Amino acid sequence: MAEEGKSKLYRLKPLTDRLPAVSRPEGHVHFRTKMMWVILILVFYFVMTNVFIYGLDQKSTVDMFAQYRAILAGAQGSLMHLGIGPIVTGSIIMQLFVGAKIIKLDLKNEEDKAVYQSTQKFLVIIMIVVEAVPQVFGYLVPSDAFVSGMGGIFGGTGALSGLNIARSIIILQLIVGSYIVFLMDEVVSKWGIGSGVSLFIAAGVAEAIFTGTVNWHAYEPTEAMSLANPPTGTIPKTIYIIQNMSAAELVGGGYERILLSNPNPMVALIGTIAIFFFVAYAESVRIELPLAHGTARGARGRYPIKLIYASNIPVILMAALLANVSMFSLLLWSNPGLNGIPLIGGQPWLGYYEPGSSYPSGGLAWYLSTPRGLSDWLLPILSPDRYGYLASGHDPLQVGLHVLAYVGVMVIGSIIFAKFWIETTNMGPEAVAKQIESSGLQIPGFRRDPRVLKRVLERYIPVVTVMSGAIVGGLAAGADLIGTVGNASGTGVLLAVGIMIQLFEAMGREQMMEMHPVLRGFFGGE
């Protein structure tokens, strides 16, 4: 029984403490060991993306997360089908509940923090089931041979029919695969460098960008390559069209196909490169507060407050939130068991879809969906008669509202999540002030007192947090509007660049702590 005044979540401890978990290292883990774990987990991630779910009919499967596939670090039809979606969704729910004081936990208290983490682990398992079951019963179709084989083994009807047994086995594979992903994230966080979730996102986006740039296979692989069916990759597609079109044909529409038309137009490649450099610049912008050691005269340092202070986490959380909106709107529109729910089931205002498509054609889900480059919104606005079909027949005003709604939701949502993230990860003014004070440092000219440090930091951190959320949200939305190669999405490119820069900086800190062990306490190492 939970003690008086403690959160009711303490009642879950007997259950959550028995969940499989990765134990923390007892002492300091050497830099080479950390790098070894990062590389091993990365290799294992790519292995899992290529281990396909047994018994699944790949041709009849509809990918509910197609527009968010790179961000969610998953691979359709594989053990990584759900990707990091359940992990991020569980994190969103816990942060919202704690931030809104619905769950009364003090994350500065070690015992409460342990309960928070164990409850989040339990919630991740629930979200795995919540995301896996609807997909299997609606869009991950078992093959006929697998269903008949299960029917022949069990020979039952009703709950024990071949179809239900086949679905149960697929659900079990998704649950096992997703929980392995969660454990892999823990391995990287505890034994490696950085975050496993971030590592998987960067790996998935890098793979998508590479294949989207240099893939020489035809867009429809079952048909012969032609001008109507060019290579998929940006560079091979451009070379093929220039080689097989006359000068008059290029002027009459060839350059438009190269620059703007899917798949993987040249503008998307240029936009991807521009985003890379812009994010690299934004990551380097920072305010540096001067610090001096209270007892060691001459020992000085600086505390950097980055412009992208909240990192890329707010965008990850927003992407997962919008992915869940897309999933549930698709389920409520097309799933026979859900589209009869009063008020929300099968309602066009919530979102409607063309048969076999996972991208909304209208409704609220369409206004919140990710634009797929300039051809998805700019061309229908400039020439609605010629390109209106690219926007599912919506008029220019509706297309403009779609752009404004998506950008607004991304910016405002990222600001909100940035504030939650800062408060729940000990990056707020009070936590940073205590961290600086405990390391023996102080701001020159100010009294050595955490309250004084807190007041100084409050001039910067809250403002930078809001700016950070707005910038990453605006960058991600702007990149989606321009388009990216490989369907990586603007959010995906933004995340990948930020993650790689942060990983490089984290490696530098680890090497510094390896050479100067006294710095471990300041950086939070062991």
The band of 398, judged by pLDDT with boundaries at 50, 70 and 90, is very high
| Within-domain flag for 220 | no
Average pLDDT, stretch 92-113?
Answer: 76
Q: Residue 462, Cα to own-chain centre: how many angstroms?
A: 24
| Within-domain flag for 1 | yes
| Within-domain flag for 276 | no
410's CB contacts (< 8 A; 6+ apart) are: 315, 318, 473, 474, 476, 477
Question: Residue 2: its pLDDT value, please?
Answer: 43
The band of 96, judged by pLDDT with boundaries at 50, 70 and 90, is confident
pLDDT at residue 356 above 70? yes
Average pLDDT, stretch 173-190?
Answer: 90
Q: What is the residue type of 499?
A: I
Highest mean pLDDT among 98-112, 178-192, 216-230: 178-192
Question: Residue 39: its pLDDT value, please?
Answer: 92
Average pLDDT, stretch 286-309?
Answer: 73
Other CB atoms within a 10 A radius of the CB of residue 397 amount to 10
Residue 242 host element (H or E): helix 234-244
| Within-domain flag for 142 | yes
| Within-domain flag for 448 | no
Question: Residue 300: its pLDDT value, please?
Answer: 65
Question: Residue 162: its pLDDT value, please?
Answer: 78
Q: What is the mean pLDDT of the chain?
A: 82
Whether the bond between 14 and the residue before it is cis, its omega within 30 degrees of 0, is no
Question: Residue 1: its pLDDT value, please?
Answer: 39
pLDDT at residue 154 above 70? no
| Within-domain flag for 481 | no
What the block records as the tokens of 362 is 């209208």
Residue 425 host element (H or E): none
Average pLDDT, stretch 297-305?
Answer: 69
pLDDT at residue 70 above 80? no
Spatial contact of 81 and 53, defined as CB atoms under 8 Å apart: yes
Rounded percentage of the chain residues whose pLDDT exceeds 90 = 12
pLDDT at residue 297 above 80? no
pLDDT at residue 493 above 90? no
Q: Residue 394, Cα to own-chain centre: how many angstroms?
A: 29
169's CB contacts (< 8 A; 6+ apart) are: 54, 55, 150
Phi-psi region of 22 (alpha: psi -120 to 50; beta: other; left: phi over 0): beta
CA-to-CA distance for 64 and 357, rounded, in angstroms? 8
The closest of 404, 412, 418 to 316, measured between CA atoms, is 418
CA-to-CA distance for 165 and 117, rounded, in angstroms? 34
The closest of 209, 218, 207, 259 to 238, measured between CA atoms, is 259
- The string of pLDDT tens digits covering residues 431-465 is 888 877 777 777 776 666 777 788 888 888 899 99
- The string of pLDDT tens digits covering residues 1-55 is 345 567 778 888 888 878 887 888 877 778 888 889 999 999 999 999 888 898 8
- The reported pTM is 0.74
| Within-domain flag for 103 | yes
CATH of the domain at 144: 1.10.3370.10
The band of 367, judged by pLDDT with boundaries at 50, 70 and 90, is very high
- The count of structural domains within the chain is 1
pLDDT at residue 165 above 60? yes
The band of 405, judged by pLDDT with boundaries at 50, 70 and 90, is very high
CA-to-CA distance for 91 and 313, rounded, in angstroms? 11
| Within-domain flag for 318 | no
pLDDT at residue 469 above 80? yes
Domain boundaries, position 155: 1-192
The band of 294, judged by pLDDT with boundaries at 50, 70 and 90, is low
